Amino acid sequence: MARKTLRPKSNIAVVGGGGLMDMMFTSRQPMKKKKKRKKKKLKENVEPRIFYHGTSEVNAKEIDKMGFLKSVQPGDDRTRVRQSTGGAGGTMDEEGLIWVTKDPEQAKYVDGGTADRIYEVLVDFPLKIMSRWQKLTKKQAEILNKVNLRGHYDPIKEGTELSIAVYKIFQHPDAPGTYAQLLPMIGKNAIEDETGIAIAAESLPVGKSWKP
């Protein structure tokens, strides 16, 4: 009768040596690959950009004391905002914005008149500017329509201009109807039109000033 050769059923190999039995375990599992550590992105250092702001002599005195510009402040009704100390007036949806220009010559003209003083305005963070008249993408329209409390009969759609979208939202007294509130929702922090750039900020530091 032929002898059968027995094979171990497990992954244990038995080796004889010197009368002692040594047990050697073998692993069939593949070696795990070491995960590469992701390098942390360093925060971008933004060099201050210089813009310009024209204002009256009355406001200039306050700006000199403070050393910065204040944003447009809320007024007594929902149609106009009052002239803020060291800032400027504007429509109610412009509350929380600071208007500046890229060109000092353009900063001379304030509310149809001529500025008494022009200031350098320092911005030390990245600006994500959107034209006031730019048409919204589908995604941007969907985001803004979520806070449009009149959206069931006056919706914001793809292709709606930003200014019109803000106006639609502003019509409801409980909606967040200012550019400063709405711009961050679509990844922006400033608007631009033919008069200049309006930055959503509580204050901005100023540099030197001069009379035009």
Cα pseudo-dihedral 89, 94, 97, 99, rounded to 10: -60
Strands 109-110 and 113-114: antiparallel
Read off the pLDDT of residues 93-150 as tens digits, 9 standing for 90 and up.
898 999 999 999 999 987 678 899 999 999 999 999 999 999 999 999 999 999 999 9
The stretch 45-65 carries a mean pLDDT of 86
**pLDDT value of position 92:** 83
CA dist 91 and 68 (Å) reads 22
CA dist 86 and 63 (Å) reads 5
22: pLDDT strictly greater than 60: no
Domain limits of the chain?
49-210
Average pLDDT, rounded, for the chain: 80
Lowest mean pLDDT among 53-62, 81-90, 159-168: 81-90
CA dist 173 and 5 (Å) reads 90
What percentage of the chain carries pLDDT values higher than 90?
59
Is this prediction's pTM over 0.75? no
